[in-house]
Amino acid sequence: WRPRSRSPPKYPGALPVIGHVPKILKNLNDLWTYFRKICDYMVEHDGLISLQVGPHSIYVVSDPDDASVIANTCLEKSYHYKFSNNFVKNGLVTSDSATWKVHRKILNPAFSPLVLNTYVDEMNVQAQHLVSKLTLYAEKGPIDVKGFITEFVLRLICRTSLGLKPEDQEMIDTDYAKAIDEISRVYNERGFNVWLYPSFMYDLSALKRKEQELITRIENIINPVIQKRRSDLKGKYITNDDASTDSVKGKFKPLLDLLLHLADEEQIFSDTEIREHLDTFVLAANDTTSAVLRNTLLMLGTYPDVQERLYKEVKEVFHNEDLGKHDLTKLVYSEAVIKEVLRLHPPVPFVARDLQSDVVLPKYTLRAGNTCALSLYDLNRHSSWGPDAKEFNPDRWLNPDTLPQNPYAFAGFSIGKRNCIGKKYAMMTLKTSLAHIVRKFHISGDITDLKWKIEVVLKPITPALVTLTLRS
């Protein structure tokens, strides 16, 4: 007869006042295994539980219906995202919800299919470069593909964002790419070192000095690039309407042109914001796209029959030196394979929101002032995917009847309003590179050999070893 509590169940083991803090600290060395235990408990309890960190609750959600409400109503990112405020404050990933609403609307057209199609030639160029590098290691036993793939993704995103001449490009491919890689490690390190959460502790640390040094280095590279492009363009900017008109082979208009147009003609972005958006795109594209390409190669090694089917499709579609934009749409099975890899191994397993007001869900009420983590990893394995939810089955993507009714159950690119703006760009990059690689090599490898650790993205702690054999 007592009214049922509207608070979600609490994960066992919380101590009075401090809650789960001691458990989290004890498991810092292997947080991924600890988080898996928490999430397994969550799945057994209708996909919503809470953790207690001092006076603060962290709700963890994997029910697609609840997650869709949270993802569309709570647009403020959690405290952790603010760690990178010195660097990319108003970039889309980290910006506060008011800034985000304005900027996202302005930037959406830069990721329309018409604009993205102009990048296909550059995607081919970079995929060929990757294949030629990998060829040097073919027939030579297992290699760790991580470095090759990261270089490919960074070169491509830097080129399509900045659009430099080849002679200036070298500095971006090396110095800038390296600094971006290093600064993402700084934020990972702070994110998983609770002692460095309070600003006064962080400000005294060597990590803060390193962050400052990297920010200065990146600004010194990017700011002159922005200024040079501005003077080269001399007012001839790209606009949202004509973004797609220039589709001469090999030519494309980089994102920077659109940002400069918005800054100079429409006074929308400051120079700092232009840099923050560019750096955000590179940061957000790098680890994620690299992880999916690496995982896909390993999955193809683990499932040779899937690899042969994919190879057959590539052979049927891919006749010339380059893939055309129409060829990409014909790679239907390849797309199914990539989505299935992304479903089972999402590089970003959690995203987190700050609850600015109470969220009333059918069963529970989440209280304002707390944090909500959406477990993208568990959404992707939700029971609505069917009894084979945890199995690798690309065929499920070929028949809409075998997909969950709730589209929010596929969360590889996050869900709701703050989902990934670069998802089409990423899919095109992945399809192009995969087709080039599979056309050239037979791949052996085993994803089940990998051990994982969680940073902002899920990373293997063991090398991602792949053996490449040249196809005749």
Q: Residue 154 CB, nearest distance to ligand HEM (Å)?
A: 11
Contacts with ligand HEM: how many residues (CB under 6 A)? 23
Contact 446, 302 (CB under 8 A): yes
Going 440 to 441 to 442 to 443, the CA torsion angle's sign is negative
Beta strand ranges found along 189-277 (DSSP E): none
Burial 235-260 (b: 16+ CB within 10 A, else e): eebbebeebbeeeeeeebbbbbbbbb
The yes or no reply on residue 284 touching ligand HEM (CB under 6 A) is: yes
Q: Which one of residues 74, 145, 258, 285 is an interface residue with ligand HEM (CB under 6 A)?
A: 285
State yes or no: 420 annotated in a binding site: yes
* Contacting ligand HEM within 69-98 (CB under 6 A): 92-93
Contact 390, 344 (CB under 8 A): yes
Q: Which one of residues 128, 223, 414, 467 is an interface residue with ligand HEM (CB under 6 A)?
A: 414
**CB-based burial label for 224 (10 Å; 0-12, 13-18, 19+):** exposed
The yes or no reply on residue 62 touching ligand HEM (CB under 6 A) is: no
Query: Which residues, at least 6 apart from 342, have a Cβ–Cβ distance to it below 8 Å?
Result: 292, 380, 412, 413
Residue 117 or residue 288: which is nearer to ligand HEM going by CB?
Answer: 288
Residue 274 or residue 351: which is nearer to ligand HEM going by CB?
Answer: 351
The yes or no reply on residue 104 touching ligand HEM (CB under 6 A) is: yes
Residue 19 or residue 69: which is nearer to ligand HEM going by CB?
Answer: 69
CA 112 to CA 133: how far, in whole Å? 31
The yes or no reply on residue 281 touching ligand HEM (CB under 6 A) is: yes
The yes or no reply on residue 445 touching ligand HEM (CB under 6 A) is: no
Residue 74 or residue 292: which is nearer to ligand HEM going by CB?
Answer: 292
453, containing H or E segment: strand 452-454
CA 77 to CA 179: how far, in whole Å? 25
The yes or no reply on residue 297 touching ligand HEM (CB under 6 A) is: no
Q: Residue 209 CB, nearest distance to ligand HEM (Å)?
A: 26
Q: Which residue is nearest to ligand HEM (CB)?
A: 422
61, containing H or E segment: strand 56-61
Report DSSP state, residue 172: I
Q: Which one of residues 23, 418, 436, 459 is an interface residue with ligand HEM (CB under 6 A)?
A: 418
Question: Which of the ranges 263-271, 308-316, 363-371, 420-428 carries the binding residues for ligand HEM, by CB under 6 A?
Answer: 420-428
The yes or no reply on residue 288 touching ligand HEM (CB under 6 A) is: yes
Residue 444 Cα distances to 121, 152, 162, angstroms: 28, 20, 36
* Contacting ligand HEM within 182-241 (CB under 6 A): none
Q: Residue 288 CB, nearest distance to ligand HEM (Å)?
A: 3
Question: Which of the ranges 202-210, 317-325, 391-399, 406-414 carries the binding residues for ligand HEM, by CB under 6 A?
Answer: 406-414
Contact 127, 462 (CB under 8 A): no
Residue 347 or residue 445: which is nearer to ligand HEM going by CB?
Answer: 347
Name the nearest CA neighbour of 161 among 173, 179, 174.
173
Q: Residue 413 CB, nearest distance to ligand HEM (Å)?
A: 5
Question: Which of the ranges 3-11, 184-192, 267-275, 408-416 carries the binding residues for ligand HEM, by CB under 6 A?
Answer: 408-416
* Contacting ligand HEM within 318-377 (CB under 6 A): 347-348, 351
Q: Residue 108 CB, nearest distance to ligand HEM (Å)?
A: 9
CA 424 to CA 29: how far, in whole Å? 35
H-assigned helices in 387-446: 423-440
Query: Which residues, at least 6 apart from 166, have a Cβ–Cβ distance to it below 8 Å?
Result: none
Given the rule CB under 6 A, which residues bind ligand HEM? 92-93, 104, 157, 280-281, 284-285, 288-289, 292, 347-348, 351, 412-414, 418, 420-422, 425-426
> Where is the binding site, in residues?
420
